Structure 1
Amino acid sequence: MTNVSPIEWKGDHLLLLDQRQLPHTEVFIKQAAIEDVWNSIAALAVRGAPAIGIAAAYGLVLWSQQFQSESPSTFKTELTKQRNYLASARPTAVNLFWAIDRVLRAGLTETSVVKMKEAIRNEAVTIHREDELICQRIGEHGLKLLKDGDTILTHCNAGGIATTKYGTALAPLHLAKEKGLSISAIATETRPVLQGARLTAWELERAGIDVTLITDSMAAHVLKTRKIAAVIVGADRIVENGDTANKIGTLGLAHLAKAYNVPFFIAAPLSTIDYSIASGEDIPIEERSSEEITHWQGERVAASNINVFNPAFDVTPNELIEGIITEHGIIRSPYKENLEHLTYQPNY
């Protein structure tokens, strides 16, 4: 397992591994204010749904530490405003909203500013600590699907640097390594920001796990010609019926997996499930800057004055998903029925 901790709470500031600099440089950026956290989330310095949620939770802690008034009502009003501010950083990953709402509830239940600040800090730290255990359990359940010598195909980065440790989709690989099993990975490069090439391949190689990098357009050929045990990817939002939003390109990969009879799995904590949305048609899809497509390392590589469409996510319908690997086990179809009784259980 990579020994890089992507999020470090230092008591009065936060350190975030700047994932924009990987794989060439491991740089931690200091977050001293809530605005720093908002900017880091929006600019992809921190990314991965669980990591975004953890960082945002600490963003509210940073704000609370700098709040000066002793008025409980003023504090509660401003806390809600700051929650809404952080929620505007990125629209698709539901863990962001789940984490800041959990911190918000913890603060609002107290009666004094001192106690509210303490509750906010404690809740953020708890969310951070819980994530490692959750990811470990996801990995344990995912590992039951695999055997020694298997190869999985994955897309984007759902590894240790997208969480606290282990990751979600990559957790079975890290746990297999710890147990002395040999399970390898094929990672798509993941255009346009190359999270697979820059992050997944780096993370797995660093952990001593056999990884092969391919371009996104090679996935069909690989699924047809190579023996792939499963496709396992992460998720940014799972809705009531099991439809799942993940990094753009996941939908195509799911169709390819079905065409070549390879089981397609989602790996995600229960905190990624959004019961307020009935189907994937209603998931908000973030659109990002056109320069992510038209430029590379600051240099234009596409013709000028062209139209660009750059959605960051797509939605995979539940009928293409073999199972959802959670900390409570592998959930299978019918998803609405099998997901509805599950609730996130903090402090377990």
Structure 2
Amino acid sequence: MTTRFTDTTQIDSVSTDSDSTESKISSKPQTTATGGSTTPYCQEEIYGDDCNYGQNLTTPDVDYSAIPTRKANITLDIKITFLDAYNDLLSNASIDFIKKLQMELEVLCAEVPHFQKVVVINLLEGSVIDSSRRKERSLQSEPKFQLFKKFIMKLKDLLTKADVTELRPRSVLATSRAEYVYQNNATQIQWLNDQLEGELVRIFNEDDNIQQISEAFSASVLFKKVSSPVPQIMSIMDLQPFINCSFNNYTAEVIDGRWQCVGPCMKELDYCNGHGQCLNDINVGAVCNCYSSKISKYFGPRCQHFRWGPAFYGALFGSIAAALLMAAVVAIVVFLVKQRRCGSWNRAVSTGFLDFDEDYFDFTGTGRYNLGLAGSYTAERFRPYLENIDT
């Protein structure tokens, strides 16, 4: 059982129009009016104010007209009398026959996606046309006398002609070539190479399809075979000579079974050293939009340089000034406190409260006191006799 290839959502449409390529890389963006102003209208996969930046992955230009097609030969036996003029495909009789056959085949062959064209490549003599059934019906309506007369004449012909078979009309054995376009899709290429022949056999084996051709020629038609030559495109890699990336520094690579153009930013992910956004300029190549703020700023072709911004220096000098101001306030407070303490000390000294040498142990004028001990006491200053101390 064959499987039809119906996934057309991932297949590129066949286009050889050069205008689409030119508009794709046009340096002048179209504009659309919006409220009195104009905004750029960029082509697909391009963006930016000047339409000069491309996506990381873009669709390549494929020269479908140069890609070899997938071919399949279809042979039909058409039960009409073969004419000598059919030996020359350029004769009027051949041209009329070919036009009629091509019209019928195109409808059937187009059931397979990406059909391009069908060409009748050969007209040969086919099998002997069997008209016995038609003759039986006509003989049944004739009188017996006429039947006997025709029998005698037929017998006479058999006796006089050496080879009756050679004189009987033969059908037309028509061989046509259907061609299909390979797409930028690995699955579709594999399907055409492996499944096309079986799909065409299925189509031409359907009675309704053969009946359409029979009605066009007013004769019975037999489907003989479908044969396919060795394909010239074996895999997606064989499409490389027909792939072109129109943007500067884009390279063609097979990604997810398709040829795609890879931008320079995607090929070198750390192009801007992690300090900026890499942009694919379609005219120049990779460019960096470096990160910048009021505090810090990166610069250079690849954002490899760094410098502090004005906000950083403002914060730095502001912090230093605040620290100096705070230090000055603390110094002033310490000085004032120290001055206050020093004033209190001086006042105590001036009143004699802290004259240890004279006043603190001066008991003069205190009178005599009898503490209950024998003897008398005289008030006088205490003076230790150091010479009596045994050192």
In the superposition, the TM-score normalised over structure 1's length comes to: 0.21
In the superposition, the TM-score normalised over structure 2's length comes to: 0.19
Which structure shows the bigger proportion of residues in helix conformation? 1
Structure scoring higher RCO (CA < 8 A, sep ≥ 6) equals: 2
Task: State the structure with more CA Rg.
Answer: 2
